[in-house]
Amino acid sequence: MFERRTTGLQTFSGDAGRSLAQLNSLQGFARSLLIGVIPLLALKALGSKEAVTQAYLLASLLTITITLNFSFIERWLQRRWVITLSGLFTIIAATILLFGKGMIIALAIGLQSAAASLFTVCISLYIMDYIGRKELIYTESRRLLYTGIAWLIGPTLGIWLWNEVAYWSPFILTILVSLVMVAFFWLLRLGHNPIIRKAKKNQSTSPFKIIHRYFGQPALRIAYFITLTRSIFWMSVFMYGPIYVVEAGLPNWVAGGLLSFVSGLLLLSPLIRRVANLYNVKIVIICGQCVTATALILLFFIGEPKPIGLLYWIIAALGGVILDVLSNIPFMRMVKSWERTAMTTVYSTWREGSQLLTPLLVSLVMLVAPFEVFYLTLAGLLFIASITATYLPCRL
């Protein structure tokens, strides 16, 4: 159980940071087990890359609807029950994927993503409740280090179980891990932090008014765009990376290996944290964006899927991991304390935004050009994001 801070937000609780990291890693492990299985399962069930793209597009509409109503859901259920609901969504999604056929897969994808989104909003709020501002970089790097270990194992294990052990085994394991995550959360007995200032009484919980309030603040707009473009990249990795492997003529297990390897780069989180402390968070964020964008351009130039393309995916992922470690810092340091719940609700839609925009961009590109042009499009977005990042405060 976390100890409440009695002197405001200046005191850092090491136990709180470690417990949040452990909780996050359990949720990440549950997701990672199916992250490589889902696109291959969808490709097998739906028959084409275009149909898979449509399934993800439908799923994103469900997820973004749920996420934008987080304030209402939290007010209705309280935050601890929202975490529990996220675990339930993961269990339902795994069950649908195990037994469902055809486009019902889109519902499962949407529920799994909604589970991740609800969990992300809650964990972000708990971090801002329990972790001091000066320790955010340390806490984020440790959280992603723990998560990196989970994601290093999960994708390969999930595909191996699916191919070699039993079709149903990764889905059952996902359900069991989700139950463990919920049990661990209740063991911690997290609650609302009474020290955080209450929201203004006239603060609106209407999603549309909250969105207007969020994007009316330039610094938060920049923070959102940085995180959104990062997430579009990762959506591309997890949606099309496994398909890229298969189209390059490589066996299925390589798809799991690719996802595990790029996820395992999160183990570099402590090193990235030290570099950010040494050179400035903003500069390192810009470098990460440029690395990813450059690798995507190289991926475009090789054309049709080839085994050498996996190297460029990995280089791009290295830049993506830098953004994973640091891209939340601008938001967490610039959001006003009394607006945390409302603004975090909007900020956390980067996941749903990327799920909506990734298949949408791919669909638009494929109307007029080969799929590979999508890599060039995404690289352009990342370069634009790097330019907007230059407008962030120098001291983050």
Confirm if 165 and 307 have CB atoms less than 8 A apart: no
| 239 falls within a domain | yes
CA distances from 204 to 169, 193, 213 (A): 45, 21, 10
Give me the CATH number covering residue 366. 1.20.1250.20
Q: Left if phi > 0, otherwise alpha if psi is -120 to 50, otherwise beta: which for 249?
A: left
| 6 falls within a domain | no
CA distances from 216 to 67, 272, 298, 354 (A): 20, 31, 36, 21
Confirm if 2 and 127 have CB atoms less than 8 A apart: no
Can you give the three-state secondary structure of 286-350, one letter per residue? HHHHHHHHHHHHHHHHCCCCCCCHHHHHHHHHHHHHHHHHHCCHHHHHHCCHHHHHHHHHHHCCH
| 197 falls within a domain | no
CA 78 – CA 75 distance, rounded (Å): 6
Backbone angles phi, psi at 195, to 5 degrees: -75, -25
Read off the tokens for 240. 């099309």
In the numeric block, the tokens 């297990």 are attached to: 253
Whats the size of the chain, residue-wise?
Answer: 396
Domain count of the fold of the chain: 1
Q: Which residues contact 65 (CB under 8 A, 6 or more apart)?
A: none
Confirm if 171 and 162 have CB atoms less than 8 A apart: no
Backbone angles phi, psi at 12, to 5 degrees: -95, 130
pLDDT of residue 191: 52
Q: What angle do CA 203, 208, 214 make, to 5 degrees?
A: 65
In 3D, which of 291, 288, 299, 290 has the Cα closest to residue 376?
299
In the numeric block, the tokens 């020290």 are attached to: 195
| 5 falls within a domain | no
Full residue range of the structural domain in which residue 171 is found: 14-192+205-389
Q: What is the Rg, in whole angstroms, of the alpha carbon atoms belonging to the chain?
A: 20
| 4 falls within a domain | no
Read off the tokens for 169. 């085994």
Report the amino acid identity of residue 60. Answer: S
Neighbours of 98 (CB within 10 A): 17
| 221 falls within a domain | yes
Per-residue pLDDT of the chain (396 residues; tens, 9 = 90+): 333 333 333 333 446 677 888 898 999 999 989 988 888 888 888 877 778 888 888 888 888 888 777 777 777 877 888 889 999 999 999 999 998 788 888 899 989 988 988 898 888 788 777 776 667 667 777 777 888 888 888 888 998 999 888 889 999 999 999 999 999 988 876 554 443 333 344 444 566 778 888 888 888 999 999 999 999 999 899 888 988 998 999 988 888 889 889 988 888 888 998 898 888 889 999 999 999 999 999 999 998 899 999 999 999 999 999 999 898 888 888 888 777 777 887 887 787 788 788 888 988 998 899 989 999 999 999 999 999 999 988 776
| 200 falls within a domain | no
In the numeric block, the tokens 């370069």 are attached to: 383
| 232 falls within a domain | yes
pLDDT of residue 199: 38
Neighbours of 342 (CB within 10 A): 24
